[in-house]
A and B are shown apart, each in its own frame.
Chain A
Amino acid sequence: MEDALVLGAITLKSRLFVGTGKYAADSLIPEVIQASGAEVVTVALRRVGMQQEGVMDHIPSNIRLLPNTSGARTAEEAVRLARLAKAAGCGDWVKIEVIADTRHLLPDGYETCKATEILAKEGFTVLPYINPDLYVARSLIDAGAACVMPLAAPIGTNRGLQTKEMIGILLEELDVPIIVDAGLGRPSQACEAMEMGAAACLVNTAIASADDPVAMAQAFRLAVEAGRTSYLAGPGRVHENTLAEASSPLTGFLQ
């Protein structure tokens, strides 16, 4: 049986989503997307500048866009951005990101819930970015979220799976896909998240800030696949209180 990730009405094979921000040159993006195997990439919405350059030139047309609502400080602003993104004609997926705190860039769970409720009712497939808080996650699911996207560490820090315990609780308690977003800095950390049972990982800075973003995109793809395969394989028991457990038979030695 195929191991697919179902989000809203869409079935995905790839469990790695990639962001398109912060690249030294946007022309790297097609190769990064290809190396990552991603079927979903995130974009942001901003005012057009004087010269209209655009990331869209670099995103293959078969890739599903996940617009985020970055820049929104309230539910109302997130809803407005989501509607604008939908009007751009690239589908009805939206990553809700409501951040009022400019120092730590932590998401506001209350405003995120309000925006999710409104947008889910309008038919959006809502992927909310959150602190890994069980109560916020439950409220989001009640509000119609298609998944939850807890942060591993503060955005853009490459610090890894700092919130491991809390994400573990979400994995234990919730039935929706859990997509680890923000803060993953190394493929090994994405692998660990997947091995714990995360449905997918979203990575931007770790790839964009690598010396070789294309190679790093490939490394994340392999790590996510390894972690997923390990999770499905069902890792063996950890022997906490045993000094050692021989792997080879302890009988039949040569004399």
Chain B
Amino acid sequence: MHLMINGQSQEVPCTTLTDLLRALQLDAQRLVAEVNGTIIARENFDQTQLKENDRLELVHFVGGG
């Protein structure tokens, strides 16, 4: 499926947000996801179906002041 992930166009085989994170080898417990501008609660990652051309932001905490 074609997705825009953090501003980059990517082809990833997945149907749900959880599938996507697994395919990208990202730890769901460590990040926050926004799909098409809407924040997805972590407990809903499993049920969140992704569609062609969805825009995702995957963010996490980094060091900062």
- Note all chain B residues with C-beta closer than 8 A to A44: 61-65
B65 engages A19 (CB within 8 Å): yes
Determine which of A52, A70, A87, A155 lies in contact with B26 in the assembled complex, contact meaning CB atoms within 8 Å.
Answer: A52
B60 engages A54 (CB within 8 Å): yes
Comparing B11-19, B34-42, B47-55, the segment that makes contact with chain A is B34-42
Task: Identify which of residues 94-135 in chain A touch chain B, using a CB-to-CB cut-off of 8 Å.
Answer: none
- Note all chain B residues with C-beta closer than 8 A to A20: 63-65
- Note all chain A residues with C-beta closer than 8 A to B30: 52, 54, 56
A55 engages B59 (CB within 8 Å): no
Q: How far is the CA of A229 from the CA of B27 in the complex (A)?
A: 44
Comparing A21-29, A219-227, A233-241, A244-252, the segment that makes contact with chain B is A21-29
Q: Report the minimum CB–CB distance from B8 to chain A (whole Å).
A: 10
- Note all chain B residues with C-beta closer than 8 A to A189: none
Determine which of A43, A65, A156 lies in contact with B62 in the assembled complex, contact meaning CB atoms within 8 Å.
Answer: A43
Q: Report the minimum CB–CB distance from B21 to chain A (whole Å).
A: 10
A218 at the interface (CB under 8 A from B): no
Q: Which partner residue on chain A sits nearest B64 by CB separation?
A: A44
- Note all chain A residues with C-beta closer than 8 A to B25: 52
A47 engages B59 (CB within 8 Å): yes
Task: Identify which of residues 186-238 in chain A touch chain B, using a CB-to-CB cut-off of 8 Å.
Answer: 202, 204-205
A43 engages B64 (CB within 8 Å): yes
- Note all chain B residues with C-beta closer than 8 A to A54: 30, 60-62
Determine which of A21, A48, A89, A182 lies in contact with B59 in the assembled complex, contact meaning CB atoms within 8 Å.
Answer: A48
Q: Which partner residue on chain A sits nearest B8 by CB separation?
A: A47
A174 at the interface (CB under 8 A from B): no
Q: How far is the CA of A47 from the CA of B42 in the complex (A)?
A: 16
Q: How far is the CA of A74 from the CA of B20 in the complex (A)?
A: 31
A56 engages B64 (CB within 8 Å): no
B63 engages A52 (CB within 8 Å): no
Given that A48-B26, A48-B60 are contacting pairs, would A84 and B65 also be in contact in the complex, using a CB cutoff of 8 Å? no
Task: List 18 other contacts, CB 8 Å, given A21-B64, A22-B63, A52-B31.
Answer: A19-B65, A42-B65, A43-B63, A43-B64, A44-B63, A44-B64, A45-B32, A46-B59, A48-B26, A52-B26, A52-B30, A52-B60, A54-B30, A54-B60, A84-B32, A84-B39, A156-B65, A204-B65
